[in-house]
Amino acid sequence: MRFIVREQPFEKPFAAGELRYLRDGQPTGAVEKWRVTTANGYQFLRVDLDARAAPSGHSYLYHALLNGNGRFERLKFRFWGDVNGNRLQVSGDIVFEETAITAYRTVNGSTYEQVLPVPDANHFWFPACLGLRYLGEGSGTAVGLHTVNGQPLSVNSDESEAFALFVVEMQATQQEDGATCYHWHEQRRTVWRNAAGWVVKMERGDGLTAVAVRTIQYQSG
């Protein structure tokens, strides 16, 4: 597993897992590995979404700091890969304060800054299965990151929009099998969680799915 910031000796393992991505039931080669540790009442979330063996060839890394209430305080991210035939490299740092979210990102050497108000329900997610965990189960205003995966929210002609923050009204519906289905614009994600709340399956509206091959809970809580 690759990291933005490696684990420190004072961090204690909390949970970890791995999901494999499939399209129309066939493995794509993409793997998402994640790990959560704790220290002094905080959680550190690390995610490595490795699609180097998939057709996209993309790599995503995330490093998040969450407080004792499970809310984001900081998120660092990295992305690199080819998008629409052009090489794209992105790094960013998002700071979550009481009333505002401030994001800094560098896209192919150009730096951008955004400041957005915190949504009332504090819904936020980033482009990975584990990122969907933090949307909760209710509808409301949400903040997310523009993706680069060929979906309607992807980067098409303006690379400066890569991983920019955006605000959207999110609709969440509960299914009989316990899954939560999220709708925004033309997008749909259906997410299944285990008893501890970790994502064990995800379905996207275009035939892409992700299924957990292992989920480990080191600590309760």
Each residue's pLDDT tens digit, 197-215: 999 999 998 899 999 999 9
Q: Is residue 3 over pLDDT 90?
A: yes
The two structure tokens encoding residue 119:
């949504």
> Cα(162)–Cα(173) distance, rounded to whole angstroms?
28
> Confidence band (pLDDT; 50, 70, 90) for 149?
low
Specify the DSSP element, H or E, that contains 131: helix 129-132
CA–CA gap between residue 148 and residue 161 (Å, rounded): 9
Q: 163-194, pLDDT tens digit by residue?
A: 999 988 989 999 999 999 999 888 899 999 99
Distance between CA atoms of 189 and 9, rounded to whole angstroms? Answer: 36
Contact between 25 and 206 under an 8 Å Cβ cutoff? The reply is: no
- Gap between the Cα atoms of 86 and 112, Å rounded: 19
